Amino acid sequence: MKISKEIKTGILVAAAIAIFIFGFNFLKGKNIFSERRIFHAVYPEIAGLAESNPVQLNGFKVGRVKEIQLYDSTGRIIVSFAISDNNIRISKNSVAKIISSDLLGAKAVQLILSGEKEYVRDGDTLMGIVEASLQESVNATVKPLKDKAEKLISSIDSIMIVVQAVLDKTTRENLSQSFDNIKHALETFDRVAMRLDTMVASERYKISSIFSKVESITSNLANNNDKISAAIKNFSSISDTLAKANLSKTIENANKALTDISGVMEKINKGEGTAGMLVKDEKLYKNLTAASGSLDSLLKDMEINPWRYFSLYGKKKRTKKSNKP
């Protein structure tokens, strides 16, 4: 049986179409001869995810995104993806996370298994989350820094206004003078320190001698510690004796004696009594002085011429004198 050219042409066209369809799907990651399971995930936004983007498990491609469409009137989006490997078992409460698969921003769906013992079935819906983009991460990191920088700049502006208001010409001159005074004080202190160092260097032998004497004194104190303790005990005994003595009565008697003396002195000042008359009566004082002088002259004359006052002695004198040739 001879096949006509038309049949051959049709067969070739059908084969070409089949090869084209298979190649097209193969290039898109579809395998029309393999059994596939379809799962879904709902997202608030898909961040640039497109159909035919890969589905990964631990970085390994296990499927592709099949379809993306609106889920409801709120703007949520449902993503359907096909898992071509039937050996992969997805546990319940697993997460389908939209991630950036490279630095250029290409998107993929990353399966994060929950580890539960119960598994989802073909057509079930997984929990969908979206990874923050690089720009969002940078913005989240930079925004606090930006806010702090703005506050810092505002604070610097306020400080500069205050500084400009405070540091007028007079204040600047005062500050300059203060710095000059500080410099002068430091120079003076440096000179004093040098002189002190020179003095210490020149007097180091005396200082050493002083320290030696101090050490000797402390040694003597340490060696005579028992004697010092005994002296302190004796002093304590004396203080106890004084404390036990009737000091109040003694002080009272002394006060009484001083009162009596004060009364006597007061009477003398008033001219009462013999002592008072001697102190207050000037005429009596002069008479006593004259009498004292006369008595002194009399005693001197008695010493020189005793025969004038003692008759027996005077006769003997005169007799002796008369017997002389």
Considering the domain boundaries, does residue 138 fall inside one?
no
Low pLDDT (below 50) residues in the chain = 312-315, 317-325
Residue 227 lies in a domain: no
Residues 52 and 76 in one domain: yes
Q: Which pLDDT does position 78 carry in this prediction?
A: 92
Are 4 and 85 within one domain?
no
Residues 39 and 127 both lie in one domain: yes
* Measured distance CA(57)–CA(126) in Å, rounded: 14
pLDDT for position 322: 46
Residues 48 and 25 in one domain: no
Give the pLDDT of residue 323: 46
pTM here is 0.36
pLDDT at 223: 82
User: Residue 14: inside a domain, yes or no?
Assistant: yes
Pair 29, 92 in one domain: no
Is 55 within a domain?
yes
In the chain, helix, strand, coil percent, each to 5? 60, 15, 25
- The count of domains in the chain is 3
Based on the fold, state whether residues 94 and 121 are members of the same structural domain.
yes
Category of 24 on φ-ψ map: left (φ > 0), alpha (ψ -120 to 50) or beta: alpha
- Residue after which a domain boundary falls, among 131, 149, 169: 131
115 shares a domain with 72: yes
pLDDT the model gives residue 35? 53
Domain final residue pick, 107, 131, 155: 131
DSSP calls for 279-297: HH-HHHHHHHHHHHHHHHH
pLDDT at 324: 44
Burial of 102 (C-beta count, 10 Å sphere; 0-12/13-18/19+): exposed
Is residue 240 in a domain?
no
145 in a domain, yes or no? Answer: no
113, 70: one domain: yes
Give domain status of residue 282, yes or no: yes
The answer to whether 54 and 101 have CB atoms below 8 angstroms apart is: yes
12 & 40 share domain = no
The values of phi and psi at residue 198, to 5°, are -65, -45
Q: Which domain holds residue 64?
A: 35-131
Q: Domain ends where: 101, 131, 161? A: 131
What's residue 11's pLDDT?
A: 81
CA 186 – CA 194 distance, rounded (Å): 12
